[in-house]
Structure 1
Amino acid sequence: MMQLPERCPLDHLPLCGRPDDVALVLKNTTLTFAEMNHEVGVLAARLRHFGQLRGWAPGTRIASWAAKGMATCLLPLAAPRAGFVHVPINLVLKRAQVAHILRDSGARLLIANAGRLNSLLDGDVPDACATWHEEQAFVAAADNPTFDPLPPSTAGGDELAAILYTSGSTGLPKGVMLSHDNLWLGAAAVAQFLQLDHQDRTLCVLPLAFDYGQNQLFSAWFAGGTAVPVDHLIPRDVVTAVAKHGITTLAGVPPLWTELVDQEWTQEAIRPLLRLTNSGGALSENLIKRLRAKFPDARLFAMYGLTEAFRSTFLDPALIDEKPGSIGRPIPFAEIYVVKDDGQLAREGEEGELVHAGPLVAQGYWRDEEATAQRFRSAPTGAGVANKAVWSGDSVRIGDDGLMYFVGRRDAMIKSYGQRISPQEIEDAAQATGLVRECAAFGVADAAAGQTVHLVASAARTECADKAQAELPAMLARILPRYMQPRQIHWRDHLPRGATGKLDRATMKAELESWHSAHRSGST
């Protein structure tokens, strides 16, 4: 693990850039680092005053639920500067999920736009939770006057700065508790291995309630660069924004990259791009090839991580063509271990569970001691200095080259006729045929086999859907061993996605189980 940089409270990020350099570009507003620091201080002062009127204690939670504007971009810094904890709520969530997050977090203030506030019903917002239209955060009012800006805080590194709610693919969303150190060092780590500097302009497309979505802002500011947040409605909006703002850094998740690589990109949009970064799932080899062909001069960073430990590994872009299936090596400041079922650390050629330790590991789940105890446990025997670790539930293999390779979620592994099958391997094979745009493999209960493989897929090109449906089974039969062959392929026009843009595997799994139940009973 590399030497840690000097640690600072998260709200010191506006001090990282040169005062007159542009820090933030919004639809109707541009802020320099000096102006951003001032606005963060004023917003923090208003929040503290509002909290004092209502008797808030330090650590009170403040939620935001709005598009990427001044409130959602500055609250992650202003709330901790005021001594409070920010709870960002994904823009795409509906009232039921929002109501759960407000209740679970115990938020005392919700800042949102008028349309979203009006969508909430009686009882969705707890009685103790006040609401502000997002304009109230910046316009003086009787109960929200203008104050001198609060100076940068002196918060300790272990103090809670944010609670990020997971997408809830299993059960209700859980709040992951993130400290100042978690977020500050995450910004430092990404800025370091991406080699960002003050000339970089990062297009922030990912949701700000997503860990890497927030980090787009933080790592850009840590490097003294410019963040350009956008809420895109269609993929073409991203292409337009890249060209308009001279974007050098663009992050996405695999479904978004699939959409973007299908777009017509002008040289004006391609030319400034220096780096592409991926998170939220592995890129298929086919998609990597298409991205490299579309953006030959941009370095492609494939990352792996989870909200409970932020990013964990990245693959050196120089290896992306040679080792497209690898998740690489640990990012700066992360301690990563592969632990076999017998508790021993894996060596080259061996497989085990990926375990994350070090200062990027979150503090646990908000008000959920049982879930925290299950996931956040002691570091494995033989580990380094860390004593707390998050056990990912992901299986990886250490290759003979020393790189790590993702095998699959342990709870998603398919067990058929005594064989352990990685869904990732089947998905990669389907993608490699060129017939499939997106796909997800699952195990469905079977009396004889234990489980059989089912594949949910969309065709690479709509006009060739019949061709894909006719040819894919035969092509997979040539690529995969018999026990890995899908029993059935379920074709869809589009695969469902969750709140962060990832494929919604929980929904697809539930649909398959429902289909299987109906099919078994003879009702289909």
Structure 2
Amino acid sequence: MNGESTAGARTGALVHDLLDEATAECPDAWAVTDGAGRWTYRELAAHSHAVDVWLEARGIGHGDRVLVQLPSVRELVALLYGTARRGAVLVPVNTGMKDYHLRAVVENAEPALVVVTDPAVERITALADGVPVLGLDGVWREIAELRAVEARSSGAQVGPEDIAVLVYTSGSTAAPKAVICPHGRMVFATEAIGLELGYRPDDVVFCRFPISWDYGLYKVLLTAAGRSEIVLADGESDLVLLRRIRETGATVVPIVPSLATMLCALAEREPRRESRVRMFTNTGAALPKSTAEGLRAAFPGAEVVVQFGQTECKRVSVLPPAFRDAKPDSVGRPLPGTRAFVVDEEGTPLPPWETGEIVVEGPHVMPGYWRAPEQTARTFRPAPDGGLRLHTGDFGHVDEDGFLYYEGRRDDVFKHKGVRMSTTEIEAAATDVPGVRAAAVLPPAPGRDLAVFAAGEIDPHVLLRELSLRLEPAKVPGVSRVVDELPLTAHGKHDRKQLARILEGNAP
């Protein structure tokens, strides 16, 4: 293994080291599958070297940004590793990003090259302001020719602090902002998560999420670290997901609550069948207990592993299955080699069970936001003993064993009728009500009462009555709405802007 080790995870390795080590150990094992085919680790590594040579011929060098707006296919995985070899920076953008935000990303990232699907070339060229924009079909023909002759570049100097990827995330700002992700910190995060999740060489990871989202991106890296296979299923129809999970022999299925709810609904419509799934991993938002139980019923023997994190450090904590019953409300313990705790407004650590802001320290904390010094200074602050302390904007507490308990975002924590509360606790109470599949809470605002939205089969008045049996009076919403489905953002979180429009009667 290359680089220094911290609790089993390295701080000095490079992103493409993960691929090269997997290739050396199991060259003929399956690495990546998409709707068009399958590559072994040997084939993926060869394609990544061809990408490196192709980029070199295009004049792409150290630190240059390569923006890609592509679906999650094998070619994109090869572009990730090949760009890393070149010492350049991959900028993966969601295919659903509209031109308004894409123009802002291009202006901020200043890419030296853009690769998109062929039908998008003309449209993207018009907003890329002179940057070369190439279609994937033509690009891949050239790369395939280099792959056929086993081309290798002259090599590039790449270090662990060099940037490997810029991950754009909307967060709470109007324009997307990019988290800077250096090689060494990405590898550390990958291996530390791997120590907790235990990916194995016989695992098949069914990944529904785009590589432009860090949840999908790190699944590519985690499977390489575990010598596992990743199935890129971002383009699969919702209606065939259950069948595809079985057909591909998936053993690990990353989920967000909306996907979990969908899988449970699909499973209820057909007789129970055997599957190889041994683990679901959840992130993005809290998974209702009823949904977790539904997954375990539909996939006997499968564990549902709770995770908590954000792109700025990739993962804060993981709750190992062994602690599911003892710590049912926890979001887990910090990753090996890291620290996560809560502080007051002055940054002083708080004792167990006292609520404060969750902060994170460790080699997985990224160095900041790309070309956004003010936002970086607010979020990434010097730690007292050196390094960086990530101020997550999430609130919660720890117990006496150091396990974290999430209570909500800064925007989710509010006072109502003189009582401090969070949307998370009210949503949890709502999903405990029979007939409620999922729930979302809209905090009060001028001219608007505290409101709860539920997807399921229940009368709005019954929901409020049931909540009055579970919550203290000040925490019971004044307004209840039952909808067919809760509106979600692209990352599977509650779309509060759309909820507000529903409440105001202005939803389309």
Change (3 A) 1:399 1:100: same
Q: Which moved more, 1:282-291 or 1:73-82?
A: 282-291
Q: Secondary structure at the match of 1:326?
A: coil
Q: Which of residues 93, 101, 115 is equivalent to 2:105? A: 101
Paired residue for 1:495?
486
Of 256, 261, 267, 1:258 maps to: 261
Alignment of 1:413-432 (within 5 A): 413-432=413-432
The equivalent of 2:7 in structure 1 is 2
SS of the equivalent of 1:336 reads strand
Match of 1:398 in 2: 398
Shift of 1:109: 1.7
Q: Does 215-224 or 238-247 show the bigger shift?
A: 238-247
Shift in alpha-carbon separation, 1:78–1:506, aligned structure 2, 3 A: farther
Instruction: Compare 261-270 and 222-231 and name the one that shifted more.
Output: 261-270
1:131 aligns with 2:133: yes
The letter for the 1-side match of 2:388 is K
**Following TM superposition, where does structure 1 have runs of at least 4 consecutive aligned residues deviating by more than 4 angstroms?**
143-147, 151-154, 265-270, 509-512
- Secondary structure in structure 1 of the residue aligned to 2:164: strand
Match of 1:343 among 326, 344, 347: 347
Alignment partner, residue 244 of structure 2? 241
Where in structure 2 are the equivalents of 1:440-455 lying within 5 Å? 440-446=440-446, 452-455=449-452
Partners of 2:155 and 2:247 in 1: CA distance: 33
Equivalent residue runs for 1:195-214 within 5 Å: 195-214=198-217
Q: Which runs of 5+ in 2 are unaligned?
A: 1-5
Task: Give matches, 1:81-480, under 5 Å.
Answer: 81-118=85-122, 120=123, 123-127=126-130, 129-140=131-142, 148-150=151-153, 154-264=157-267, 270-379=274-383, 381=384, 386-400=386-400, 402-446=402-446, 452-458=449-455, 460=456, 464=457, 467-480=458-471
Measured after TM superposition, the shift of residue 290 of structure 1 is 2.0
CA contact (8 A) 1:240 1:269 kept: no
Q: In 2, Cα distance between the equivalents of 1:39 and 1:268?
A: 40
Stretches of structure 1 lacking an aligned partner (at least 5 in a row) = 519-524
How far 1:510 moved relative to its partner? 6.3
Task: Render the CA deviation track for 1:398-454: whole Å, top value 9, x for unaligned.
Answer: 23554211111123212112211111010000000032222221222258xxx8421
**Partner AA of 1:456 in structure 2:** F
Could you say what secondary structure the match of 2:459 adopts?
helix
Once the two structures are superposed, what CA deviation does each residue of 1:58-101 show, in whole Å capped at 9, x if it has no partner? 21111111112133222221112122100001122222222221
> What residue is the counterpart of 2:38 in the other structure?
30
Q: In the aligned structure 2, how far is the partner of 1:422 from the partner of 1:132?
A: 47
**Aligned in 2, Cα 1:64/1:396: closer, same or farther, shift over 3 Å?**
same
Match of 1:65 in 2: 69
AA at the equivalent of 1:42: A
Secondary structure in 2 aligned to 1:140?
helix
Matched residue of 1:426: which SS?
Answer: helix
How much has 1:490 moved relative to structure 2?
Answer: 2.9
Q: What is the alpha-carbon distance in structure 1 between the residues aligned to residue 200 and residue 261 of structure 2? A: 28
Shift in Å, 1:393: 0.8
CA–CA separation in structure 2 for the residues paired with 1:388 and 1:125: 35
Counterpart Cα distance in 2 of 1:241 and 1:175: 33
Query: What's the CA shift for 1:211?
Result: 1.1
RMSD: 2.6
Q: Per the alignment, in what secondary structure is the counterpart of residue 349 of structure 1? A: coil
Mapped contact 2:33–2:74 kept (Cα < 8 A): no
For these two proteins, the number of residue pairs brought into alignment is 496
1:88 and 1:395 map into 2 onto residues whose CA distance is: 30
Instruction: In structure 2, give the amino acid aligned to 1:262.
Output: A
Supply the distance in 2 between the matched residues of 1:403 and 1:246 (Cα, whole angstroms).
33
SS of residue paired to 1:306: coil
1:522 maps to none
Q: What are the Cα deviations for residues 358-382 of structure 1, in whole angstroms up to 9, with x where unaligned? A: 1111121111111111111122x5x
Instruction: Using the TM superposition, give the Cα deviation of residue 321 of structure 1 relative to its aligned residue in structure 2, in angstroms.
Output: 4.0
Identical positions, percent? 26
Instruction: Write out per-residue CA displacement over residues 445-464 of structure 1, whole angstroms, 9 at most, x where no aligned residue.
Output: 258xxx84211332x2xxx3
Secondary structure, counterpart of 1:502 in structure 2: coil
For residues 26-46 of structure 1, what are the alpha-carbon distances to aligned partners after superposition, in whole Å with 9 as ceiling and x for unaligned?
Answer: 222221111111100001110
1:348–1:377: structure 2 CA closer, same or farther, 3 Å change rule?
Answer: same
Alignment deviations for residues 151-209 of structure 1 (CA, whole Å, 9 cap, x no partner): 87551111000000003443111011100012212221222211112111111111211
| Corresponding position: 1:21 with 2:26 | no
